[in-house]
A = this chain, B = another copy of it.
Amino acid sequence: MTITIKDIARIANVSTATVSRVLNEAGGYNEETKKKIMNVAHELGYRRNENARSLVQNSSNIIGVIMPNVATIFYGDIVNGIENIAHEKGYSIIISHAGVNGERFVQSVNLMGERKVDGLVIVTVELDRNQLDLVKSLRIPFILLSTDTPEKDAPFIKVNDFDAAYAATQYLIENGHERIGLAGANPTDRVAGITRIEGYKKALQDNGLPFEKKLVKYGDFSFNSGKEAMESFLQEKTELSAVFGVSDDVALGIISVAYNHGINVPADLSVIGYDNTRVAEMSIPPLTSIGQPFFEMGSEGCKIVIEATQNKKEIPSRIIPFHLVERKSVKKINE
């Protein structure tokens, strides 16, 4: 049914070896026979079988991508970056969702093992010891994107959340704010929760500002978290002139509730977000936010993994720079 190099060989009156050589541009054949073979292949609508190829070459030219199933906003950008490079390098990507809490992670890894992917990009999911060992058992290059491991014993690319949170807070302080709230961070999240809380604290401390418990409202990085945080602030009549939302969603939640209470942003309250997702520029007012280079993370991560499959070198971890995108949600008090 399907056309194989056998068919081509038969019709072109050559051996399959020659067909293979021509198709792979391996050199060592007559231009005449090449033309003949190419013509036949074209006429027959031949398409090579990558599965068979993978089998004999012991390499699939596939990069596996594992991520939680949440359709996060930056999901798209990271995958875009990955796919982009993969395509450029002649690789395909196969995607598997590990589940919001990583409950399908083992299955995902096994899947990648069975498909014999050449490399692995793991997005966002936090790995414990066992899971990391499982990944390592694949004996293929891999990298973590936007996350890391407690002992930093696996290569990763991410921004420094502590520094970024510090910068966000510092920015508010520099603009004259002293009563600064923190909202939406999950204090049990080692990667994006604790770090950002600590960055916030440190910035306060370095500027001689007191840290007050009632200024921070925990949450899960969601829009709702932001709303709840703001409502708490209001209810507790907490005095504050600015809030650092640990995600754009949180920041929008804050702005939303503020609006409903007639509190104008940024006139009455300043808000800064985190992620610089596409909603940041669409919000009212446009949201000042800490930007993470998601697309670049994806492309860099994919690129380095592919390179590692070829040169067998160890993959270095990398801290990638964030950038603060100034928009209109923060009032400059001291100007």
- Which of A67-75, A187-195, A209-217 faces chain B? A67-75
- Which of chain B's residues has its CB closest to A115's CB? B50
Check B50–A114 contact: CB distance below 8 A: yes
Q: How far is the CB of A81 from chain B (nearest CB, A)?
A: 10
Partner of A80, one of B49, B50, B69, B83: B69
What B residues does A48 contact at CB under 8 A?
Answer: 114
Partner of A97, one of B60, B87, B104, B282: B87
A116 in the interface (beta carbon within 8 A)? yes
Partner of A116, one of B50, B55, B137, B281: B50
A92 in the interface (beta carbon within 8 A)? yes
What B residues does A93 contact at CB under 8 A?
Answer: 94-96
Report Cα–Cα, A282/B72, bound state, in Å: 15
A20 in the interface (beta carbon within 8 A)? no
Q: Mark A265-307, 1 if CB is under 8 A from B, else 0.
A: 0000000000000110111100000000000000000000000
Report Cα–Cα, A179/B244, bound state, in Å: 41
What B residues does A317 contact at CB under 8 A?
Answer: none
Check B249–A282 contact: CB distance below 8 A: yes
Check A284–B282 contact: CB distance below 8 A: no
**A interface: dominant SS:** helix
Q: How far is the CB of A328 from chain B (nearest CB, A)?
A: 10
- Which of A31-39, A120-128, A252-260 faces chain B? A252-260
Report Cα–Cα, A50/B79, bound state, in Å: 24
A51 in the interface (beta carbon within 8 A)? yes
- Which of chain B's residues has its CB closest to A111's CB? B92
Partner of A137, one of B45, B55, B107, B249: B45
A223 in the interface (beta carbon within 8 A)? yes
A321 in the interface (beta carbon within 8 A)? no
Q: How far is the CB of A54 from chain B (nearest CB, A)?
A: 4
Check B75–A92 contact: CB distance below 8 A: no
Q: How many interface residues does chain A have, given as a range?
A: 35 or more
Q: How far is the CB of A301 from chain B (nearest CB, A)?
A: 16
Check A69–B84 contact: CB distance below 8 A: yes
Q: How far is the CB of A91 from chain B (nearest CB, A)?
A: 10
Check B83–A281 contact: CB distance below 8 A: no
What B residues does A113 contact at CB under 8 A?
Answer: 47
A110 in the interface (beta carbon within 8 A)? yes
Check B252–A282 contact: CB distance below 8 A: yes
Check B104–A87 contact: CB distance below 8 A: yes
Report Cα–Cα, A271/B47, bound state, in Å: 51
Further 6 A-B residue pairs, CB within 8 A, beyond A51-B115, A69-B84, A259-B284 = A2-B58, A71-B79, A72-B76, A73-B73, A73-B278, A75-B76
Chain A interface residues toward B at CB < 8 A? 2, 45, 47-52, 54-55, 58, 60, 62, 69, 71-73, 75-77, 79-80, 83-84, 87, 92-97, 104, 107, 110-111, 113-116, 137, 223, 249, 252-253, 255-256, 259, 278-279, 281-284
13 contacts between A and B (CB under 8 A): A47-B110, A47-B113, A47-B114, A48-B114, A49-B55, A49-B114, A51-B54, A51-B115, A72-B76, A75-B76, A87-B96, A87-B107, A93-B94
